[in-house]
Amino acid sequence: MNAIWIAIFGAVCFVMGYRFYSKFIAERIYRLDPDFQTPAHTYQDGVDYVPTNKWILWGHHFTSVAGAAPIVGPAIAIYWGWLPAILWVVLGTVFAAGVHDFGAVVLSNRHKGHSVGTLANKLIGQRAKLLFLFIILILVLMLNAVFAWVIANLFITFPASVLSVLIQIPLAVWIGYRVYRHSGSMLLPSVIALVVMYATALLASEVPILQFDLVSWFGGTDTAVAGGFNATSMAFLVWIVVLMAYVYIASTLPVWKLLQPRDYINSHQLVVGLALLYLGLFFGAPEMTAPSVNGEAEVSWYPLLFITIACGAISGFHGLVASGTTSKQIDKETDARMIGYGGALGEGMLALIAIIAVGTLFASSADFTATYSSFTAAGSNGLGSFVKGAGQLIGNLGIPEHMGSTLVAVIVVSFAATTLDTAIRLMRYIIAELGTEYGMPVIARKHVATSIAVIASAALVILPEGPKGFGSGGYLLWPLFGTSNQLLAGITLMLVSVWLKRQGRPVVFTLVPMLFLLVMTLWAMGQQVIFTWSGFGDADRNLLLFTFGSLILVFALWILLEASRSFRQGPTASQESLSSDESR
Amino acid sequence: MSRADDDNAAPAGWRSRLKQIIEGYDAVLSLQHRREIARELQDEEDLFMLLCFCDMMGIPNPVGDMTLELYPYMLDRFHEWHQRQGMPRSPLDGFRCC
């Protein structure tokens, strides 16, 4: 099948979903009121609460939620064939992600712009707040470990991308200082930075001396280096240590010095990357060479598909962004539809092109089967396949494929590095909050909390042993990351459902996606924990994954119990206060 | 309108449309950055206000005589500051901005 038809199918479903389903949700379920005074107007302070044009806010929301995760998940999930992956991305985005992101914006907008965590505390109680904190803690821990592996893996597979990514750091600091000290627009300096980065990437693709190929420096793939590490394993170790040292410094700096300007450059990269990939698709019109359904898959697609693709179909992280910043800038309540639902559709388009890039990479179905020979191989090779497939798509525009792959590797690493920085920062805040909550002020200190976050993340990414030794097995954590992300989405949908029920409105449109997510999460985690990681039967025991999987399983059950309790009970005192918040 | 006027109007329309698109794109990307810059500047402003008014809050101010001269110029900023600190009315008897 020609891949263009898949892109058109996805786009048509998304347009129909926006045109009809989101309209129905907006009018009948969330009942948006154009006259409702939004928090951006009520609490306008020029910093957090600022009424913002809906197009600008949509763009901002989309660039905040889109990153490397909607690329990695689909690149692994194509193991079951492209059809299940496409269907989950399209249906998940239209019926779950759109409703979830949209609901998070509306719920927060109706409650002074409070974040999901605060709303969980108010709506359900202190237990829910702690549950929420622990789930976010696990989510960001997994995120740090997985993304550190993503970056190390791409640096090893595409060493020409390293120099360009390193150059981005001083360029971002320069832009940050320039704007902070002298004001002015970031547009021109960031475009210059982007040109310098891409020129470096293209040059490094052609000049081997500019490539940081650690595996070659250590003597080649199978060379034993020291302490039982081979060259690849040692390269993973070195990159992970370097990344963690970098992220320690980056996450303790003020955000305007590095994080924000780098984010700005990355937003260009998102636009450039999406444009190049879709243009490459339409100019090249490649065939999908991967099978539509992989009949040779030894692991069943259900329920694992639903936690392998989290971002791109539905993601709890979006609820944090929607309620944390976006809802405070909504000009009119009716804008929430375009910003929340439309933002989810944007991420769906990114996930779609990721599936198409991998699905069109291979010369034949047999090549696909050789690369995706098992679910473990899919985890290990998925990201590399996306980068090569994307390079091939960009090749249709006249850019040599190896250069295209280097550019795509730079883009994915840049996304992952920014996410890593943000996640370590977030983890630091949560550790500090938990320290304060439990009377341990020492761990609330900036450098102590950051050290705990960095050491825990480094240990987690180094410990899982992949086929290439220690440090190369970070992808094994991907299902855990997907599960914790889905749990977070489940909490947000639960809060929206409780709010709708108290308003006397239908809850089926939020409750069904929530139950679907929680059942699939429980099923997938139960299956992995009991039959794969516990050592049951012939499987090898993996204590690390077993422990984390069990923890997540307990949290998922806890959420289900909390949800059923909230639905059975009438509003508590705190819920009453929430109600009064809304009736302002 | 002549043909020449039409030809001039079209490029001008294009230019202004392009300018609008670039400005909108810049606004999308810089929204978060501007917020962080505004927060940093606000923190600096808050610290400056505290240094100027610390003697009126019971903290000794060695340069109180000099900062006193700044007060008339700071009326509006003082009003915004005390509201930002969660005080709807001026906390100082001798400095009534609202």
Give the one of A47, A255, A264 whose C-beta lies nearest to B29's C-beta: A264
Q: Which residue of B has its CA nearest to A63?
A: B29
Contact state of B37 with A179 under an 8 Å Cβ cutoff: yes
**Chain A interface test: which of B18, B22, B26, B30 (most A C-beta within 10 Å):** B30
Q: Among A43, A45, A177, which would you mutate to test the B interface (most chain B Cβ atoms within 10 Å of its Cβ)?
A: A45
A436-454 pLDDT tens trace? 878 888 888 889 999 999 9
Greater confidence (B75 vs A279) lies with A279
Q: What is the pLDDT of residue A400?
A: 92
Q: Is the pLDDT of residue A584 over 50?
A: no
Of A60, A190, A256, the CB nearest to B37: A256
Give the C-alpha separation, A549 to A534, whole Å: 10
Q: Do B31 and A264 touch (CB under 8 A)?
A: no
Residue A186 and residue B26: Cβ atoms within 8 Å? Answer: yes
Q: Which residue has the higher pLDDT, A239 or B73?
A: A239
Mean pLDDT of the B64-85 span: 79
Contacts of A435 (CB under 8 A, 6+ apart): A441, A442, A443, A444, A449
Question: Which stretches does DSSP call E strand in A344-483?
Answer: 465-466, 469-470
Asked whether the predicted pLDDT for residue A51 surpasses 70, the reply is yes
Distance CA A396, CA A276 (A): 10
Q: Residue A92 has which token pair?
A: 């998940």
Chains A, B: CB contacts within 8 A come to 68
Q: What is the C-alpha to C-alpha distance for residues A349 and A7, in angstroms, rounded to an integer?
A: 8
Contact A325 B32 (CB under 8 A): yes
Residue-averaged pLDDT of chain A: 88
Cβ-based neighbour number of residue A412 at 10 Å: 27
**Least confident range of A353-362, A396-405, A432-441:** A432-441
Helix (H) or strand (E) holding A230: strand A229-230
Query: Taking CB atoms and an 8 Å limit, are B31 and A268 in contact across chains?
Result: no
Q: Do A187 and B26 touch (CB under 8 A)?
A: yes
Which of B26, B40, B84 shows the shortest C-beta gap to A256? B40
> Can you give the pLDDT at residue A583?
44
- Residue B62 is predicted with a pLDDT of 82
Does the pLDDT value for residue A360 go beyond 60?
Answer: yes
Task: Write down the pLDDT at residue A115.
Answer: 86
More confident position, A522 or A354: A354
Stated as kind and residue range, the H or E segment containing A175 is helix A162-182
Which residues on A lie below 8 Å from B31 (Cβ)? 52, 56-57, 60, 329
Give the tens place of pLDDT for each residue, A503-554.
889 999 999 999 999 899 889 888 888 888 888 776 678 888 889 889 888 8
Give the CATH architecture of domain A3-582. Up-down Bundle (1.20)
Q: How confident is the model at residue A7 (pLDDT cuts 50, 70, 90)?
A: very high
Asked whether the CA dihedral A538, A542, A545, A548 is positive or negative, the reply is positive
> Cα separation of A136 and A117, whole Å?
10
Per the model's pLDDT, the better-predicted residue between A2 and A135 turns out to be A2
Whole-model pTM: value is 0.87
In this prediction the ipTM stands at 0.71
Give the ranges where A207-258 is alpha helix by DSSP (H).
214-217, 231-252
Q: How is residue A230 written in tokens?
A: 């081979």
The beta-carbon neighbor of A56 closest among B28, B36, B42 is: B28
pLDDT the model gives residue A10: 97
pLDDT value of position A383: 92
Where along chain A do its domains lie?
3-582
**Could you tell me the pLDDT band of residue A108, with boundaries at 50, 70 and 90?**
very high
Domain boundaries, chain B: 3-84
- Over residues A137-189, the pLDDT tens digits come to 888 888 888 899 899 999 999 999 999 999 999 999 998 888 777 777 788 88
Tell me the C-alpha distance between A514 and A98, whole Å. 13
- Give the pLDDT of residue A582: 54
- Mean pLDDT lowest for which of A47-56, A72-81, A288-297? A47-56
- Residue A487 and residue A518: Cα distance in Å, rounded? 7
**d(C-alpha A394, C-alpha A209), whole Å:** 25
Asked if B27 lies within 8 A of A56 by C-beta distance, the reply is yes
Confidence at residue B9, expressed as pLDDT on a 0 to 100 scale: 63
Which three-class secondary structure string do you get for A406-417? HHHHHHHHHHHH
pLDDT, tens digit (0-9, with 9 covering 90-100), for A195-225: 999 999 999 999 999 999 998 888 887 777 7
Mutate to test the interface with B, among A48, A182, A264 (most CBs of B within 10 A): A264
Q: Which of A518, A521, A475, A520 is nearest to A76 (CA)?
A: A475
Mean pLDDT of A560-573: 70
Q: How many beta carbons lie within 10 A of that of residue A551, not counting itself?
A: 17
The distance from CA A127 to its chain's CA centroid, rounded to whole angstroms, is 26
Dist CA A439 CA A437 (whole Å): 6
